[in-house]
Structure 1
Amino acid sequence: MKDTNENYFYIPQIKRRNQKAALFKFATMAAIAFSISFLVFFLVDIVRAGYPAFSQTYIKIDVAINEEVVENPYGAINAKQLKIISRAWLRDLPNLIKENPSWMNSTQTFWALANSEVDQYLKGKESRTSERDRAYVDELKEKGNVELKFNTIFLTTGDSKIPENSGIYAAVIGSLLTMFVTIVIAFPIGVMTAIYLEEFAPENNLTHVIEVNINNLAAIPSILFGLLGLAIFINFFGVPRSSPLVGGMTLALMSLPVIIVSAKASLKSVPASIRQAGFGLGLTKWQIVRDHVLPVAMPGILTGSIISIARAIGETAPLIIVGMIAFVPDPATSVTQAATVLPAQIFTWAGMPEKAYLERTAAAIVVLLAVLLSLNAVAIYLRKKFERKW
């Protein structure tokens, strides 16, 4: 009878415990579902907003080529066309004629770049195009003289004060040069530092203080690294401002703590039996680390390093401090020339008053997300590859 009463007493507790477990499971699943739905909404909204930037309006016009057109390209078309054609296309027309001298004293047909307001109107967005110009554009569209074509300008040109002539090419080149400098500096220094601290550094207070400070540096705001780069690299060492060199060095400072922490964790996860087997064979400490410990830890080291570099690609605040927010229409050809990067380009376009820059902002974000996802995919691939090998 006593056992029966005790079992009866514990049944409500078990029910409450199961209810709490079920509630906790429901809360975790709801949190995951909310996170995934938010991510999907974000990606869909960004792609929806940025997709129109990959197409651009062109208008078919006939131009009588002569010496006056070379001297004054704005006189090559009539007043109606002048209101809907891009100033950038008219500005480049004399150079195009000089490259093709056989066009002189003849009438040529061109697909001219439309201005951003006409482009926005044809895409069904808010536009400041007048009713008269809209009627003229509709008339040309009915005749087949207006087309939406793939926007090669967005991928092959740099920034411009004319919205329809702006692109991300210069920013992409600047990002690649900056990331090259970051990787060359941060990866070897970070890995070697982690090897020393984990395998060779003595266990004393100084080593403990260094490790604590490295962990703290991994959590401080990125803008502080920009201030550090401004004070040390630009003001003290005189590194060229707005260059991929100073930007890469600044991002390397920011990436180092994360690389060191992830590399130390990977080295620590290597089984002690591997080290003991090496000592049993008479190998030195360095031979054990170089030939056995480091290869086994390499998947985790590469994963942490690539994720750290991917985070650095998306940073804007430290690069603004070192001047990489400047208007740079031409791509840099070396790490010492002035350049901009993709996050800074996105930041600049987001503050522009013209509506055409908004879709280019979203399109640039799509490109940046594609780069980040590619780097994470590379990290996963390398991790799996090294895990299979070792």
Structure 2
Amino acid sequence: MNEISDVSGQYSRRTIDIVHASLVKRRRAEKRFQLYGLVSIVLGLCFLVILFGSIISKGYTAFQQTFIGLDIYFDPQLIDPEGRRDPNTLMEGNYDRLLKNAMSSLFPDVKERRAKRSLYGLVSVGASFDLRAQVLARPDLVGSTGRVWVLADDDVDMFVKGQLERTGVEADRRIKDNQIAWIDKLEAESRIKKSLNTAFFASGDSREPELAGIWGAVMGSLFTLLVTLGLSLPIGMAAAIYLEEFAPRNRWTDFIEVNINNLAAVPSIVFGLLGLAVFINFFGLPRSSPLVGGLVLTLMTLPVIIIAGRSALKAVPPSVREAALGVGASPMQTVFHHVLPLAVPGMMTGAIIGMARALGESAPLLMIGMVAFIVDVPGSIMEPSTVLPVQIFLWADSPERGFVERTSAAIMVLLLFLIFMNGLAVYIRRRFERRW
């Protein structure tokens, strides 16, 4: 009997030892798993900081622009030879010659033709248009002389901001030695300053970096999102309500639900090909228009809105439906008077997230021609335009150094819009959504 108890005790101790050993291993494995997760989060945050730091460090300088102060003599012989202050005559004036005369008066020693070309190149090609706008706004400037701050060329702007080297082999530099000497003289005479780059926020695209802005792309994105929101929100909410509350459960509804879930995972460029084939080639709608872009993005965001809407409707407790039906409400009244008001915050959250995804999309819009070079700011959904992500794509492909900072600055603006829209979605969910 004692032998049996000894054997039993030894077996129990061995079992307990095995259990303790396995518990130690499991705790170690759990700690390792937690450590792996923590390391992954830290690495992800580090990469995110590096990405944002790189974008901000390259793009914040785009919000300032370099200007050159010139003493302009608004020569009547060049801009108003008839002396009538006629706007049509002032429109045709030789404002480029006014700029050249002002630069030549500052550097009278520059005589050689190539040197003059380099000297005149310090000023942006858009400076003459700014002079013309000032004269058209104030015809009394004709015949007067005054200090006018005009846009500097993009290379001068990059040099003043310290992004172009002043040393090294001259043939490899965008700014030559004689131009550096002229810029130094202008700085010594307080004729160079950096001011807020209003053109970046108020102008359309341009081949010249110092003249390029995002306003045309912002308006194109606005019109495109308005079309998308106007179509996808009512259609998506109606589809979600029907499928969740009224549709019979059969093979057809199962087939529709499966396809909606599949469409949510389809690459966005496929919707661009569909829009190109249907809306442009078949229906003949204008290329590069926000109308076609909105239709394509509507197809892309509808599955997301429908799925989010159905999830919001499912989150409403069945007791709400049962109580409404119990007091005599019809199925339609139950849904629209009791269930839908409780599900709207969740549905709106899904819609805003879908709009945020549409705002950041570029691939489907490239397929319908919104990659075209558009200078004018669109005024309606039928006019050719581009959108902010496509504008970033175009600038990133440009070889000029000035477009590098503008690309990063446009990314910063786009990120701000996306953060705002996602933050709005989080606020709506926390502020209005009810927890059961």
TM-score range, shorter chain: over 0.9
Secondary structure at the aligned position of 1:20 is classed as helix
Residues of 2 paired with 1:108 and 1:99: CA distance? 15
Which deviates more from structure 2 when the two are superposed, residues 13-22 or residues 104-113? 104-113
Whole-angstrom distance in 2 between the partners of 1:62 and 1:106 = 10
Corresponding residue to 1:165 among 211, 224, 227: 211
Q: 2:154 aligns with which of 116, 119, 127?
A: 116
Aligned equivalents of 1:366 and 1:69: distance in 2?
43
Once the two structures are superposed, residues 70-99 of structure 1 have per-residue CA deviations (whole angstroms, 9 ceiling, x without a partner) of 232222222475121101112332342233
Residue 150 of structure 1 corresponds to which residue in structure 2? 196
Q: Which amino acid aligns with 1:72?
A: N
Q: Which one of the candidate residues 246, 254, 258 is aligned to 2:300? A: 254
Counterpart selection for 1:72 from 94, 111, 129: 94
TM-score, reference length from structure 2: 0.87
Please state whether the residue corresponding to 2:147 is helix, strand or coil. Answer: strand
Deviation at 1:389, TM superposition (A): 10
Q: 2:406 aligns with which of 360, 364, 386?
A: 360
Instruction: Measure, in 1, the Cα distance between the counterparts of 2:185 and 2:229.
Output: 55
Pair 1:178 & 2:224 matched: yes
Distance apart, 1:48 and its partner CA: 1.0
Q: Single out whichever of 140-149 and 73-82 deviates more from structure 2.
A: 73-82
Question: Quick one: distance in 1 between partners of 2:22 and 2:318?
Answer: 45
1:41 correspondence with 2:23: no
* In structure 2, C-alpha distance between the alignment counterparts of 1:50 and 1:322, rounded to whole Å: 29
Q: Is the CA contact (8 Å cut-off) linking 1:315 and 1:343 kept in structure 2?
A: yes
The aligned counterpart of 2:108 is none
**More off after superposition, 111-120 vs 134-143:** 134-143
SS of the residue aligned with 2:68?
strand
CA contact (8 A) 1:226 1:322 kept: yes
Larger Rg: 2
The reply on whether 1:301 has 2:310 as its aligned counterpart is: no
Q: 2: distance between equivalents of 1:213 and 1:326?
A: 33
Q: Within 5 Å, give how 1:316-327 maps onto structure 2.
A: 316-327=362-373
Specify the code of the residue in structure 1 equivalent to 2:284. Answer: G
Q: Which moved more, 1:64-73 or 1:135-144?
A: 64-73
**Deviation string, structure 1 residues 87-146 (Cα, Å, up to 9, x no partner):** 111233234223322111221210111000000111111361111011110111122111
Q: For residues 155 and 105 of structure 1, what CA distance do their matches in structure 2 show? A: 33
Counterpart of 2:241?
A: 195
Aligned length: 390
The answer for the alignment partner of 1:22 in structure 2 is 31
**Number of the residue aligned with 1:98:** 136
Q: Answer whether contact 1:181 1:245 (CA < 8 A) is retained.
A: yes
**% same residue:** 44
Check if 1:235 corresponds to 2:281: yes
Contact 2:289 2:370 in 1 (8 A): yes
Offset from partner CA, 1:306-328 (integer Å, 9 cap, x none): 11110010111111111111111
Which residue is 1:87 aligned to? 125
Does the Cα contact within 8 Å between 1:58 and 1:114 map onto a contact in 2?
A: yes
Q: Once the two structures are superposed, what CA deviation does each residue of 1:211-256 show, in whole Å capped at 9, x if it has no partner?
A: 0001000001101101111111112222221111111111000000
* Residue 170 of structure 1: how far off its partner (Å): 0.7
Q: SS of 2:433's equivalent?
A: helix
Corresponding residue to 2:338 among 263, 267, 292: 292
AA aligned to 2:152 is A
What are the ranges of 5 or more consecutive residues in structure 1 without an aligned counterpart? none
Distance in 1 (alpha carbons) for counterparts of 2:202 and 2:312? 41
CA displacement, residues 174-197 of structure 1 (integer Å, 9 cap, x when unaligned): 100100000000011001101111
Tell me, yes or no, if the aligned pair for 1:83 and 1:133 is still in contact at 8 Å: no
Deviant stretches of 4+, over 4 Å: none
Give 1:300 shift: 1.6
Distance 1:294 1:40 in 2: 41
Question: Which structure 2 residue ranges, 5 or more long, are not aligned?
Answer: 1-8, 80-92, 105-115, 165-172
Asked if the contact 1:227/1:321 (under 8 Å) is kept, the reply is yes
